[in-house]
Amino acid sequence: MSSSYTAVYVMMQSEHNAELHPVEVMAIVNITPDSFFSSSRNTAYRDVVARVEQAVREGADILDLGGYSSRPGADDIDVEEEWRRVQMGLDAVRSVGGDVRVSIDTFRSEIVRRAYEHYGRFTVNDISAGEQDEHMVATVARLGLEYVAMHMRGRSDTMQSLTQYDNGVVADVEQYLRRRADELIAEGIERDRIILDPGYGFAKSVEQNWQLLDVVEPLCKDYKVLVGVSRKSMIYKPLGLSPEEVLPGSLALAWEAMRRGACVLRVHDVAATRQVADMYNYYKTLMR
């Protein structure tokens, strides 16, 4: 939280004597050569350190380290290459210091196991909700880690051909995430450590991504919800622009996601989103 907002937040907390959970900003730290937003790609250690330093300086609450690009058509890499990249990210975080939390964007339980031994506790951000690695859920449960379960279909090379939903994208995604959360709890992950992600851009058309905003509010009644729409095609395609040109659109959608109840915003642009999140948190404090 920025220092200016913290002061206001503490003052309003005392005045209203009410518990408030501010929206958190999760900074994307791509340790990849092929992520969809070219400006977010980092491959050299010095670049990763610079990105971590920038995200911390700009007010990130969480650093989301990713060594495997999940954009449509991205190259597959083996576990050793993914681990090399993730370890680079963890070493960069350790070198920068501070108390910012860490998330690792992976669907592989072996990456989770190695990262825990190398670094300690972190959040697992799994685009497959445990569906692509049969050992993932048990590993997360055993280690007692926070877990982000995202909705998707297929893999990066097939997901955009899997956009047919029997009952509509909103109903089907909500049903899947609720069912999957129940399964995760049954397999040992504590309910309050589960965060749900509707999976914007994963096996959804541009129109379906917009429709899927309607799933945030009902899910937020029972779980924390993460929204990741930063610079995605649902913004730049309708505008006829490139990912590099749609920061204003990303910020507008960030506000809408918060208005619908999102607790975590996964973003490329930390400073700008931090300001929007602080404004929203302040507004919600005043309205209590």
**Residues annotated as part of the active site:** 232, 266
Outline where DSSP puts E strands in the chain. Answer: 24-30, 62-66, 101-105, 123-126, 146-150, 194-197, 224-227, 264-267
Q: 174-179, long-range: CB within 8 Å, 24+ apart, which pairs?
A: 174/215, 174/218, 174/219, 176/151, 177/129, 177/149, 177/151, 177/215, 177/219, 177/223, 178/219, 178/222
Distance CA 194, CA 144 (A): 11
Distance CA 40, CA 87 (A): 18
Rg (CA), the chain: 18
- Strand 146-150 and strand 123-126: the pairing is parallel
β-sheet bridge partners, residue 148: 125, 195
Cβ 40 vs Cβ 28: under 8 Å: yes
Place of tokens 């622009």: 241
Query: How many C-beta atoms lie closer than 10 Å to residue 178's C-beta?
Result: 15
Distance CA 231, CA 267 (A): 8
Cβ 81 vs Cβ 107: under 8 Å: no
Cβ 285 vs Cβ 11: under 8 Å: no
β-sheet bridge partners, residue 101: 62
